[in-house]
Amino acid sequence: MSIFDGLNENAVTIVFRNLLYRYKSVRQALQRTLPEDIRKKVNLSCINSIETHRSGGIGKGIPDLVIRGHDFILVIEIKVKEERGLQPAQQEAYVPWTQKDIQDEQTGFVLFLIPAGYHHQEELKAQAYEDDQSGRIRILPPIYWKQFVEKLGPPEELENELIREFYNHLSERFVPKPVIFSTEEICLMYSKETASGISKLMNIVEQVKDKLKSSGFQVSKPNPYNYGYNFSSLGRCCMNPIADMFLACCL
């Protein structure tokens, strides 16, 4: 348990901002998480300011954190939930925002800090390293909270209890715990009966999908990490294939 348990995205952003501003060790951990070639250009040990939830963005492009140094601006968007939405072209929206705010001697960087299972991470990766026309603003590949936690720890070496509590919160929230299976469970996973049962179940799901699709329902996969389907008229994922099969047969 941590004193930070239950924090929403805005609260995590504010706590993170305050720790970054106050503690050099936290800023150094973030710097070590950046791509190697960027670390040389973004010196987080010496900063001018850290701002959060700035107003005056262009359109909906208002970043969560803006870290300013003498020769750089680091714009950070924070996501703490895997299913958290991504506004259309959200990364690109921060480029004109940064262009508006950047000084002559500065280079701008746009970064997303996300959970490992974030549903839109492939979209973020596809935009990485795209420069604006001036060549002074770069969109970085997303980094993961898990990476930051690894660079921040180990907990026994952290300088005070406040940072340790935040470390514990991030670890519990974003670092996968090892799962230990019993011999019986392993045998069950690899048994022919289990494979056959799953295959039959997925056949039912596919029949439900085909039946609903032929009946005029909009059917889609919500994301590549979900095994089910979304039916627009039902407004939910197909998590109960038997019940949905009954519904499909009644149409």
10-residue mean pLDDT profile of the chain (251 residues): values are 76 93 94 92 91 56 86 92 74 74 84 91 82 78 95 91 93 90 92 91 87 83 66 54 45 39
In DSSP notation, 109-122 reads EEEEEE-TT-TTHH
Which residue is associated with the tokens 């070639």? 37
Closest of 158, 153, 200, 190 to residue 172, by C-alpha:
153
**Per-residue pLDDT at 224:** 60
> How many other β-carbons are positioned within 10 Å of the β-carbon of residue 147?
18
Is residue 207 within 8 Å of residue 245, measured between CB atoms?
yes
The domain spans of the chain are 9-174, 198-250
Is residue 127 within 8 Å of residue 92, measured between CB atoms?
yes
The CATH architecture to which 9-174 belongs is 3-Layer(aba) Sandwich (3.40)
Q: Which residues contact 91 (CB under 8 A, 6 or more apart)?
A: 77, 110, 112, 124, 127, 139
**Per-residue pLDDT at 132:** 63
> How many other β-carbons are positioned within 10 Å of the β-carbon of residue 92?
14
Is residue 97 within 8 Å of residue 58, measured between CB atoms?
yes
**Per-residue pLDDT at 177:** 85
Instruction: Answer whether the bond into residue 154 is a cis peptide, omega within 30°.
Output: yes
Give this prediction's pTM.
0.70
The encoded tokens of residue 81 equal 């939930």
**Per-residue pLDDT at 66:** 92
**Per-residue pLDDT at 215:** 83
Cα separation of 16 and 52, whole Å? 10
- Looking at the DSSP bridge assignments, the partners of residue 61 are 58
**Per-residue pLDDT at 85:** 74
Cα separation of 232 and 51, whole Å? 40
